Amino acid sequence: MMQVFPAIAIFDIGRTNKKLLLFDAQYRVVHEQSVQLPETEDEDGFPTEDLSLLTQWIRASFDEVATRKDIQLKAVNVSAYGASLVHLDKDLNPLTPLYSYLKPFPADLQLEFNHVYDSDGQLAKRTASPELGSLNSGMQLYRLKKQRPSLFRQIRYSLHLPQYISFLLSGQCASDLTSIGCHTRLWDFEKRDYHVWAGKEGLIEKFAGIAPGDSISIRQQDGIAVGLGLHDSSAALIPYLSAFEEPFVLLSTGTWSISLNPFNHSPLTDSELQQDCLCFLSFRGKPVKASRLFAGHHHEIYTRKLSEYFQCRNDYYLSVNPDPVIFEKWSQISNEGIEHACAFIDSFNSYDEAYHVGMMHLMNRQKKSTDLVLGSEPVKLMFVDGGFSKNPLFMRLAARAFPQMKVYAASLAQASALGAAQVIHHHWNTDARLDNLLELKHCAV
């Protein structure tokens, strides 16, 4: 007889890759499928997510796993990218395309908004949201009201993407703090409520009521628990918060290196905002201070130039091991970034030396970026995940740059999906512990 085991399904929706994962009760991935969907264009011809295709894929994929005979699907949740709104009409059907957060925001409309609501220049501080155009999802709704008022009046609910996908599975509309609180310009971090401008413009009434991030609804047809959905950055923190109570900083690396400190609740300062800091809300509604550095992008450019100059393969840097002699020789390098080293490639004796110096420049910038979120309370743990966690030179330099901390390379596949599963753990899982899922490798100086 086939053994049936309980499982949770997680939709992990990125801009490029859409994934459906099944975790068993020990949070092992037992099934994974991934798809890349072709984009479409909005009414202005700007490329964007094809909401119709995404909706079809979500429904078909869920129906497939929900009817599998080898598992008992107990729950489903969502982790998805933010700054994207789905506007539903009175019949709860989409009214518009899923506008891209990369779409340029009209300069005249931004000036008009700033004149009315940000004359003192304090809005960014109050909402923990630098002015980022369409990446401020509240401004997308403001734009619709100003440019297409008749359509705006037809909106029953505006749901952020994670909550729209949850709605597809549950039929319930709700809002979530991890989406509302991430650079939307909608949330007043001092009042812990929507900012006054959102009320004056009639935006608040377009949002469904806020539900707790660990809440669920139960599907009547099959009893499956459906989570509310989470912004992916907040979801990725949850496995670490589940495993550690003492303060830590998470350095999540990729194209951007994002430093996240869920224990620093101090308000953003003007200086921090000017240095690309922001705050977002955890699923418990607590602010998480974050800074970012375009580290992975600059690293890619630099290693490409190194491979061209030294006539070697693009990934040769993976074979470069930390060399104390080179550290000592270049111990007095300037505080310029890795891009500065590009201009001096011909002055290095070898690829290894050039790569060391470039990475030393990069770590100088990384330290400045991460220091912005450390705050006044001592932080003794740093976890590095993503691409640089597998780079021995980066990890050694991180340990040197932060001698007051224990620095660990974290091996955690599918962090956002795992976080979305763990956040509703108590609704479906009575077996697993949540503090033994991380693989950590300590990196000494």
What gap in Å lies between CA 180 and CA 204, rounded to an integer? Answer: 11
Of the listed ranges 306-310, 335-339, 366-370, 421-425, the least confidently predicted one is: 335-339
Whether residue 303 lies inside any domain: the answer is yes
Which amino acid, 27? Y
Q: Looking at residues 383-401, what average pLDDT do you find?
A: 92
Whether residue 387 lies inside any domain: the answer is yes
Residue 120 pLDDT > 60, yes or no?
yes
State the pLDDT confidence band at 337, using cuts at 50, 70 and 90.
low
* pLDDT one-digit tens code per residue, 2-11: 678 999 999 9
Token readout for 119 is 């004359």
Question: What is the separation of C-alpha 249 from the centre of its chain, rounded to a whole number of angstroms?
Answer: 15
Residues 218 and 351 in one domain: no
Question: What is the separation of C-alpha 67 from the centre of its chain, rounded to a whole number of angstroms?
Answer: 31
Choose the most confident range, by mean pLDDT, from 77-91, 249-263, 279-293: 77-91
Looking at the 3D structure of the chain, how many domains does it have?
2
Residues 350 and 224 in one domain: no
pLDDT at 368: 93
Residues 28 and 175 in one domain: yes
Residue 195's CATH number: 3.30.420.40
Of the listed ranges 165-174, 197-206, 265-274, the least confidently predicted one is: 265-274
Q: Looking at residues 321-345, what average pLDDT do you find?
A: 81
Arithmetic mean of pLDDT over the chain: 92
Residue that finishes a domain, picked among 198, 228, 258: 228
Q: Looking at residues 87-99, what average pLDDT do you find?
A: 98
Whether residue 443 lies inside any domain: the answer is no
Which long-range CB contacts under 8 A does 194-198 form with residues at least 24 apart?
A: 195/123, 195/126, 195/127, 197/116, 197/117, 197/123, 198/138
Residues 201 and 237 in one domain: no
Q: What is the DSSP letter of 156?
A: S
Which amino acid, 298? H
pLDDT at 68: 92
Residue that finishes a domain, picked among 201, 228, 255: 228
pLDDT at 2: 62
User: Which residue range is the domain that position 40 belongs to?
Assistant: 5-228
Does residue 233 contact residue 182 with C-beta atoms inside 8 Å? yes
State the pLDDT confidence band at 60, using cuts at 50, 70 and 90.
very high
* pLDDT one-digit tens code per residue, 180-208: 998 999 999 999 999 999 999 999 999 99
Residues 168 and 295 in one domain: no
Q: Looking at residues 122-134, what average pLDDT do you find?
A: 93
Residues 64 and 152 in one domain: yes
pLDDT at 184: 96
pLDDT at 231: 93
Q: Residues 6 or more apart from 325 whose CB is under 8 A from it?
A: none
Of the listed ranges 42-51, 167-176, 269-278, the least confidently predicted one is: 269-278
Residue 217 pLDDT > 90, yes or no?
yes
State the pLDDT confidence band at 224, using cuts at 50, 70 and 90.
very high
Residue 1 pLDDT > 60, yes or no?
no
Cα of first residue to Cα of last residue in the chain, in angstroms, is: 54
Does residue 29 contact residue 21 with C-beta atoms inside 8 Å? yes
